[in-house]
Structure 1
Amino acid sequence: MNPVSQVYDLPVTPAMECTVKGRIALPGVVMELHHYRFRGQQGAIFSSPRSFLDLALSPRPGQPCGGYGGMIEGGANALGDVLFVPAGSELHTKWGEGEQTSICCGFDGSGFDNDEPDLSCDALQASLDVRSPAVRDALRRIASEIAQPGFCSEILAQAIWVQTAIELQRYLRFSGGEGEMRVSGLSRSKLQYINERIEQPGKPPSVAELAAECGLSTRHFFRQFKTATGQTLTSYVTDRKIGRAKQLLRQPGPAIKVIAWDCGFDSAAAFSAAFRKATGFTPRQFREAMLH
């Protein structure tokens, strides 16, 4: 195994080590498992002539944040476990001391028309925390094929990568506002309203409640919502709740049972089970990794 990453150029410094644990290289895309060791507080500017997509298989250390400079107003934003950096963009990042394992995929073009997607500011900001369960699950499957290759692993990885690229495109196009043009009944303002209702503390609204508030039948709302987001309301709400929980767990303050209620879970046990299913860690393990 070549220890040098083929996904992007990594600086060789005493403060950061990167070990390439495995690789599948295909036409147009290279997929690698990386293990990092960071010594002290970190900061870097990521830029590459090819796009790359990264899933943190273990929590990113510290309180990772980043931004695209003048392209996005409002300064740095928290980085999610799935991160996409389009080719040619300069992502300024900061994170903490510790270790991390990731699957990182570097690829050329959009995968379909040999052109990079023209991302709006909204889509660029969304790329810092790609909240797509489909993208996350596909990357985990690719990581498993790299870590434990089996019969026709490269062929299977290529098929999964096509799915990943499609789901990423859908997510970015919707985040950039194209969903309003193709979805009658769910305007951008209604989708924003739905997000605000979901993110309120306590138990999330039901499909029937949101449908009534949007002036739609339950069946029509369900169909339009899935067309717009690619998810059922249940999976979408869970994804948003887990994202909010991650932000709260990065703080030393609120107790886990308080976070559970704030994110709409009936109990701390239900919260812990859902969080572990989504991330592979219990809330306590995630908080300890973030704060130490």
Structure 2
Amino acid sequence: MGQISNVYDVPETTAMECRVSGRIALERATVEIHHYRFRGPQGGVFRSRRGFLDLALSPRPGTPQGAYPAIAGSAPQPLGDIIFIPANQELETEWGEGEQTSVCCAFDRVDVDGEGHILDSAALEASLDVRNVYVRDALQRLAREIENPGLCSALLAEAIWTELAIELHRYLMRPREASPGSLSRLSTTQLRRIDEMIDRPGRLPTIAELAKLCDVSTRHFFRIFRASTGRTLAGYATEKRIDRAKQLLSSPRPAVKEVAWRCGFETPAAFSAAFRRSVGITPMEFRQSRKH
């Protein structure tokens, strides 16, 4: 694919080379894979006519940092691997020499409700390091769809973009006073997402994985999980999985060893021991009792 980007106006300079290796044009956004080569330290003011979202698929060279001149008294801050720059918003940036690959998106608006929200200074600063696992996942999926398109690729990409727009909007518009350090309880949405991860077959998710899912530190997750559920993670997960096992054991099928796997236990023996501690009888005895 050529050198010209449809996402933003790439400056014509010998100090930077941008190659566009793939593109997908959606109804509300354009998404491209960019390969950059920077010859020497870089710096300047970035501004785009449309909203700009960038996930660095490889490390950003040097020590990248940025600041919005519109925020009075703001100092440059490190750029994360996901950055969002609102349309027509100037961002002063600096970064180093080297190469980088990114998935870049351009779109007219980030809100999905048509209200055209204005970002305050706290949200603008948060946009320079977007820490949201769902935004990250959606961008990675769009990159894979560009590189390896398949059946109904455009339709799937539109669906992924809709999810991305919603998650980015939520991230940007959440009250900054409800940041990770000040949360005292998990939200209903966070608890639902935790339950979904616990309900998956296989090993239990780690504290670090769930903390990342909820966009909080591991230490803070310990506190707010217990405050929200009254349980430790291990106790909460075991209770949920035993409840799921009871539902499955209420029917003649599947086999006990499959129930163990579906409910996340590593072995049937481990499942049987946990079930007996919780219920007082073995899984097979419980299934037999359901027949009467």
Structure 2 length as normaliser, TM-score? 0.64
- Structure-2 change in CA distance of 1:102 and 1:231 (3 Å): farther
Distance 1:52 1:236, change over 3 A: farther
In the alignment, is the contact (CA less than 8 A) between 1:72 and 1:125 conserved in 2? no
The count of aligned residue pairs is 205
Alpha-carbon distance between aligned partners in 2 of 1:3 and 1:154, rounded to the nearest angstrom: 23
Asked if 2 retains the 8 angstrom alpha-carbon contact of 1:108 and 1:114, the reply is no
Percentage of pairs with the same residue: 50
Match of 1:108 in 2: 108
SS at match of 1:192: coil
Residue type of the alignment partner of 2:51 = S
Give the CA deviation at 1:44. 2.0
Aligned counterparts of 1:50 and 1:69: Cα–Cα separation in 2: 18
**Could you tell me which residue of structure 1 aligns to residue 190 of structure 2?**
226
Counterparts of 1:21 and 1:140, CA distance in 2: 15
- The question of 1:9 aligning with 2:9 is answered yes
Structure 1 residue runs of 5 or longer lacking an equivalent are 181-187, 195-213, 215-220, 243-292
Moved more, 233-242 or 75-84: 233-242
Give the Cα separation in 2 of the matches to 1:149 and 1:16: 29
Structure 2: any 5+ residue segments left out of the alignment? 196-206, 219-292
Partners of 1:170 and 1:140 in 2: CA distance: 19
Structure 2 residue identity aligned to 1:50? R
- Tell me how far apart the structure 2 counterparts of residues 47 and 167 of structure 1 sit (CA, whole Å): 23
Q: Is the 8 A contact 2:24 2:32 kept in 1?
A: yes
- In the TM superposition, what is the alpha-carbon distance from 1:88 to its structure 2 partner? 1.0
Q: Deviations over 1:77-106 (max 9, x none)?
A: 100000000001001100000000000000
**TM-score, normalised by the number of residues in structure 1:** 0.64
Task: Indicate the SS of the match to 2:119.
Answer: coil
For residue 118 of structure 1, what is the aligned residue in structure 2? 118
What do residues 89-148 of structure 1 show as CA deviations (whole Å, max 9, x unaligned)? 001100000000000000012352456431011100000000001000110000000011
Return the alpha-carbon distance in structure 1 between the equivalents of residues 50 and 140 of structure 2. Answer: 21
Which of structures 1 and 2 has the larger relative contact order (alpha carbons within 8 angstroms, sep 6+)?
A: 1
Measure, in 1, the Cα distance between the counterparts of 2:10 and 2:210: 35
**Change in 2 beyond 3 A, CA 1:235/1:225:** farther
Q: Which has the larger radius of gyration?
A: 2
Q: 1:231 to 1:45 in 2, by over 3 A?
A: farther
Change (3 A) 1:193 1:223: closer
Q: Give matches, 1:9-158, under 5 Å.
A: 9-71=9-71, 73-110=73-110, 112-114=112-114, 116-158=116-158
Q: Deviations over 1:46-97 (max 9, x none)?
A: 1112101100000000000001014153310100000000001001100000
Residue pair 2:111, 2:117 contacting (<8 A) in 1 also = no
